[in-house]
Amino acid sequence: MSEHNGHMPFEVGLRNLASRHVDDRLAAYTGGECSELERVAIERHLDACAACRAALDETLRIRALLAPLATQSTPMSVADSVLARLATSTGEGSAGPHIAESATAEVIPQHTDCPVSPTGDVSLPVARPEASSSWRRREGAPERDTTAMERHTSTSTQTPAQRGHAWRNRITCGAPESGGRLRSFATVAAVVLIALGAGIFGLMSHRTTLGPGGQPLATVTALAQNVSADLPANSTLADISMDSPTDGWAVGTVNNAPNGGGGSKNERGGQRHCVRPWRAQRGASHGFRALVHSGRGCRAAGHQRVRSGHSGCQRPLYLGLSGTRPGHGAHLFGFTWQRHQQSHHGPASGRDH
Amino acid sequence: MVEKAMDAHDELTLAEHAARGDHAAFGALVRAYEPLLLAYLVQMLGNPKAARDTAQETFLAAFQALPRWRPPDAARADPSRPLSPWLYRIATNKALSLLRSGSGRLAIVATMRTSAGYSSTEVMTSGFEERYAARELLRSALRHLSEQDAACLVLHYVAGERYGEIASRLGLTGEAVRKRVSRGLRALRAAYTALDPEARR
């Protein structure tokens, strides 16, 4: 102990440091960012303090847990798309960086094709049936949450609201030389179009929002297609995601179930995650909606537009969840939309348990 | 990751041109910074697509705000990268907004894709749940941190950068980084305890 160089100032500093708990120095210590004096003092303290040793263990566990996250694949370059978006915005009359409040709000998304984007990057939002208030909030005021989600679910980074805004901007700002009369005509036409579109969309939304507890879905025809992912009993669905147009993962939270029905292998009471893959019939999807049903009788808890069907699309896929009541597990179901006729498959397939 | 050699003079000149609306100059800046920011954002968000979108938004926002940008204190920032602290700040803000408004879905998707497309076999392994837990932990901790603390947390605990590197990247002093990394650990430990019922005992 005291033989450390026999150097008095070092020893005094060491004693002072070693008498203190090391919580606030654990980050530097485990990261190799301590001075020699600090390191020795910390180790001396750790020898004597069980609480700090426990904190050290926890810190090392956390570091070990996070370490694999460093090796994620890096996405492709964004330079070309950034420049394309700047060019688009400039082309629409906003000259240079001083004009627009938000760059993203000006850019019109370019859906060039009906199927899923080349990256195939479609994923469904987190569905938290147990937190239906958040779903209600999403339905009522989707801007923020939808932004997060839309960003991940289509080639565009815009919300429908932003798209609408951008579109209106284009209408009202476009063709400045054509004069007030033409502009007002265009505005009136735009308003009529928007109203028509909103009406049609609203009608469609209404039809899709009403779940098995409501009327419309009760009348649809069952298909033999499959979308399935059974989660253990006593679980709620925490997340649905699609990592290809037809495949995805359902992540559930198993709620303190002693006979939890086969959740994750390290499930040991409390809330644990369980993960189930699901697969839809290939080719069944061109656009996506998530429709979440929860609670007794599978009433509709809310729905969230993930990716609207392109006008040329005939069969966007909708996903939903049924049977999340305690003790009955959870089941994903899907149904397709064919122009004006819905087709539904899911709970009727008998997967609910 | 290859960082393009570009000295401060180049970068300041490019920034000046870009502030006047020169897209080509801005494109050069984007190409110089995107490897850094994309790696950083994917580590923070866990989702390559989200990282890409956030990086795009970051650059677009930077283009809008460039006329108001002023070079940082030369003593702190990496002299060859005067824009770095500012771009990291924008990127971190956007990523934090996404994490706070969003949900665990980001974490899930992250582990499932490779740059080549979709990986279906690797994610079947048991490592998936560990990665999911790690993502949850990171997300929970980040939600409670300031932008600079969050950046330090990600750069140190996920990217594995040394304090000195982080300081020059973010334009902070070494001591500031040390404090912020320590705060990051406190947030991580709190999140760890909250997420793991056994740790509470």
Q: Which residue of B has its CA nearest to A153?
A: B49
Minimal Cβ distance to A69: which of B48, B158, B178: B158
pLDDT of res. A205: 36
At A64 the pLDDT is 87
Contacts of B103 in chain A (CB under 8 A): 125-126, 128, 148, 239
pLDDT bin (cut points 50, 70, 90) of residue B175 is very high
Helices (H) and strands (E) in chain A, counts: 10, 11
- What distance in Å separates the CA atoms of residue B165 and residue B162, rounded to the nearest whole number? 5
* pTM of structure: 0.51
Mean pLDDT of B11-40: 91
* Structural tokens at position A248: 């995805």
Q: Nearest residue on chain A to B183, judged by CA atoms?
A: A24
The upper half-sphere exposure of residue B175, i.e. CA atoms within 13 Å in the direction of its Cβ, equals 0
**Which of A23, A82, A275 has the CB atom closest to B59's CB atom?**
A82
Q: Which is higher by pLDDT, A183 or A36?
A: A36
Contact flag A152-B109 (C-beta cutoff 8 Å) = yes
Match 């990051």 to its residue by tokens.
B184
**Residue A202 CA: distances (Å) to CA of A188, A207, A208, A305, B195:** 21, 8, 10, 12, 40
Shortest distance between the Cα of A89 and any Cα of chain B, in A, equals: 11
CA A195 to CA A283: how far, in whole Å? 32
**Hey, are the CB atoms on B103 and A126 less than 8 Å from each other?**
yes
pLDDT band, very low/low/confident/very high, at A288 (cuts 50, 70, 90): very low
**Which ipTM score applies to this complex?**
0.83
Residue (of A148, A115, A285) closest to B50 by Cα position = A148
**pLDDT mean over A262-290:** 43
**Of residues A26, A128, A273, nearest to B129 (C-beta):** A273
Contacting residues of B for A97, CB less than 8 Å apart:
18-19, 21, 63-67
Judge contact between A276 and A287, C-beta under 8 A: no
Residue of B nearest to A84 (CA): B23
pLDDT at B78 over 90: no
The pair of three-digit structure tokens given for residue B65, joined into one six-digit string? 């705000």
Phi, psi of A62 (to 5 degrees): -65, -45
With CB atoms and an 8 Å threshold, state whether A273 touches B98: no
Closest CA to A79 of B131, B45, B77, B31: B31
b/e A217-255 (16+ beta carbons within 10 angstroms → b): beebeebebbbbbbbbbbbbbbbbbbbbbbbbbbbbbbb
Percent of chain B with pLDDT over 70: 75
Residue A301: its H or E element: strand A299-307
The neighbour count for residue A119, using CB atoms within 10 Å, is: 15
How many CB pairs below 8 A link A and B?
A: 232
